[in-house]
Structure 1
Amino acid sequence: MNKPLYRDPIYDGATDPVVIYNRNAGEWWLVYTSRRATAEGPGFTWVHGSDLGVASSKDGGKSWVYRGIINGLDIEWGRNTFWAPEIIWHEGLYHMYVSYIQGVPEVWEGHKRSLLHYTSRDMLSWSYQSHIQLSSDRVIDACIYPLPDGRFRMWYKDEANGSVTYAADSADLYSWEVTGPVLTHQGHEGPNVFCFKGYYWLIIDEWRGQGVYRSVDLEQWERNGQILDQPGRGIDDGGIGFHADVVVQNDEAYIFYFTHPGRTGDWNTVSAYGNRRSSIQVARLNVIEGILVCDRNEQFEIELRPED
């Protein structure tokens, strides 16, 4: 598998990937936060003002081509900020939950972050549904997974309550009821839930790799270790793995994550393009004696199959 898997050719700031099969187009789509790593401007303006970038693959994920951005998402005038999309398919409709910030703030703190809900039949034309009311006005990074009783659960980061994972439940993907905190051991972001080899898994971005939790019922979670915390040997894969998405197909699971290959120093001192740029990578997951493991240096050929 080539490393990196993908770099955004416009701003070189591809982050927060979600990978989903576009049934209408018959190809896999990589939808991501298109941070403006090359943009000039003060403070954190380069992180804001981002669109959702799209790359597509016709060969099962081996190669990706940039296709543009998702248009028509604005709910008010001006240049605004879209982060960390979550997209799921349910009963003939795509549902997208995306983090939204008004405008292009210069500073990181002091402005609201919301989760917006859109629907589409083709992933090209999106209809705005609602601004979801959750546990605070600073929520980002939604992940949706079906519960055994037919309802859905959303896991998300609540920055106003310690930057930890909260959850909300829905019977219809439109109306959500907050159920409360899920993981509170430390600040983190980017929760992602999937089922693989007999267990439910919840991974989170702890800014030192991905923390791993395991469950048999989606209710009680036990710590299961950490992955993507050690540098890889591939091109642009020498740092920790950030905010990830997982695609499971039968006995295979692929984790898509991003790296900052040129970063030196901490987040608050990042200013140069070399520190800002990011790359999307992919690795395989496995479960050995009940432990989720990931060898990011493993050589393999990805083979994403079409989905119904």
Structure 2
Amino acid sequence: MSPRRLLPLAAALLVSACATMPDADTRVAVPLFRDPVHDGAADPSITRDPATGEWVMFYTNRRGDLTSADPKDVSWVHGTAIGVARSANGADWRYTGTATIPAECTGATLWAPEVMRFGDKWHMWLTVVPGVFRDWNAPRSIVHLTSTDLASWTCGETLQLGSDRVIDADVVQLPDGRYRMFFNDERQNKAIRQADSTDLVNWTLGETLVDTPGEGPVVWQWRGHWWMISDAWRGLLVMRSDDEGRTWQRQDGYLLGTPGTAATDRSLGHHPDVVVAGGRAWLFHFVQQDGEAEMAGNPQWGRRSVIQLVELVEQDGRLTVTREPPLRADVEAAFTAR
């Protein structure tokens, strides 16, 4: 995109963001973040950079502004880079470009970054599609990369997970020191599966945890339980474990399964990440723009997507959420706490 095109788009998005900010002095903006280049931010993964104290968001940089005569053409979700944004307080995010991902071990299409720090390195598990496709019929794999500074990334291995259609990795460390990966296997009705490793390189396949379709699982520990949230395309599915991830119980219903009422939030919540900060759990997710007024003049406006933020509430072993944006003071206090 040329600078002449980028500047008007960035200005338009800034006006839109300001226009949809509810109670600007008290609550975080809606949307929380828009990609200023292609307006298609999705699949967020948030971590903290100890060198600067800032929070860093890696996200799939969908080409939401790409139009085509064929409504079934999905090339706009291919040819995607990984966008990067930074924030000092969790409430205000600035775009800082795209991640430097080596082409020799990845491909033309990069999806769903999962960024975690283990030991003295940052690890990224990245979904890779080898090309730009007009349909969904292409192989997909998960590639492991490492970094010491969150800026430059070094190629690792392509994971062997028993399928040529695996996406959306999430990795946690178990109490015994092993690592567990949760991912989506599209060959098994898009089921969420798990694999274990002792070295973050070699993985042994485990059981299938959720046999209903779902994407983007995120797993974390909070308030005495292990939790998993995944994107079920009718809202976000919640599962809870009370035995350190050995068995899981499904919570009835879905989070963010009803469109919101604020501009830019009038669709379902998708592909989450969760950050526990200040003792509270914050749910980042993306929302497609297919419920917005712009659809009347541009039927492909729904390809665009934005990042939103809400707070999770736990009571009696259940998670709930409202679509009201959290208080800015609460977010800033939580995300700046040391």
TM-score above 0.5: yes
State the number of aligned residues.
Answer: 298
Residues 263 and 276, structure 1, Cα contact 8 Å, conserved in 2: no
Q: Give the aligned partner of residue 4 of structure 2.
A: none
What amino acid sits opposite 2:78 in the alignment? H
TM-fit CA distance, 1:26: 2.6
- The answer for unaligned runs of 5 or more in structure 1 is 265-270
Residues 21 and 307, structure 1, Cα contact 8 Å, conserved in 2: no
Q: Give the aligned partner of residue 100 of structure 2.
A: 71
Report Cα offsets for 1:198-253 as digits up to 9, x if no partner: 11011111101001010012011111232111222333112110000000125201
Q: For residues 251-270 of structure 1, what are the structure 2 equivalents within 5 Å?
A: 251-263=279-291
Q: Give the aligned partner of residue 202 of structure 2.
A: 175
TM-fit CA distance, 1:307: 8.4
Report Cα offsets for 1:146-204 as digits up to 9, x if no partner: 111111100000001111001000111111111131111x2111111011111101111
Report Cα offsets for 1:11-69 as digits up to 9, x if no partner: 000000011111233311111000001124561110100000001112x1111111100
- C-alpha separation between the residues in 2 aligned to 1:97 and 1:298? 29
Q: Give the aligned partner of residue 98 of structure 1.
A: 126
Find the residue that maps to 1:26 and give its secondary structure.
Answer: coil
Q: Give the aligned partner of residue 216 of structure 2.
A: 190
Residues 51 and 82, structure 1, Cα contact 8 Å, conserved in 2: yes
TM-fit CA distance, 1:272: 4.2
Q: Are 1:45 and 2:75 counterparts? A: yes
Report Cα offsets for 1:90-134 as digits up to 9, x if no partner: 11210000000011011112x110000000011111000110100
From 205, 218, 222, the equivalent of 2:231 is: 205
- C-alpha separation between the residues in 2 aligned to 1:135 and 1:272? 39
Find the residue that maps to 2:301 and give its secondary structure.
Answer: helix
- Superposition RMSD in Å: 1.8
Q: Give the aligned partner of residue 295 of structure 2.
A: none
Structure 1 residues 198, 85: closer, same or farther in 2, change over 3 A? same
The farther-off stretch of 152-161 and 67-76 is 67-76
- C-alpha separation between the residues in 2 aligned to 1:97 and 1:72? 12
Find the residue that maps to 1:227 and give its secondary structure.
Answer: coil
- C-alpha separation between the residues in 2 aligned to 1:306 and 1:95? 23
Q: Give the aligned partner of residue 142 of structure 1.
A: 169
What amino acid sits opposite 2:116 in the alignment? I
Q: Are 1:214 and 2:240 counterparts? A: yes
Q: Give the aligned partner of residue 56 of structure 1.
A: 86
Q: Which runs of 4+ in 1 moved over 6 A?
A: none
Larger proportion of helix: 2
From 287, 294, 299, the equivalent of 2:314 is: 287
Larger proportion of strand: 1
- The TM-score, its normalising length taken from structure 2, stands at 0.84
Structure 1 residues 298, 24: closer, same or farther in 2, change over 3 A? closer
Find the residue that maps to 1:117 and give its secondary structure.
Answer: strand
- C-alpha separation between the residues in 2 aligned to 1:183 and 1:273? 32
What amino acid sits opposite 1:49 in the alignment? G
Structure 1 residues 126, 306: closer, same or farther in 2, change over 3 A? farther
Q: Give the aligned partner of residue 19 of structure 2.
A: none
Q: Are 1:83 and 2:105 counterparts? A: no
- C-alpha separation between the residues in 1 aligned to 2:121 and 2:268? 35
Residues 44 and 286, structure 2, Cα contact 8 Å, conserved in 1: yes
- C-alpha separation between the residues in 1 aligned to 2:94 and 2:218? 25
- The answer for unaligned runs of 5 or more in structure 2 is 1-27, 293-297
Structure 1 residues 307, 159: closer, same or farther in 2, change over 3 A? farther
- C-alpha separation between the residues in 2 aligned to 1:255 and 1:103? 31
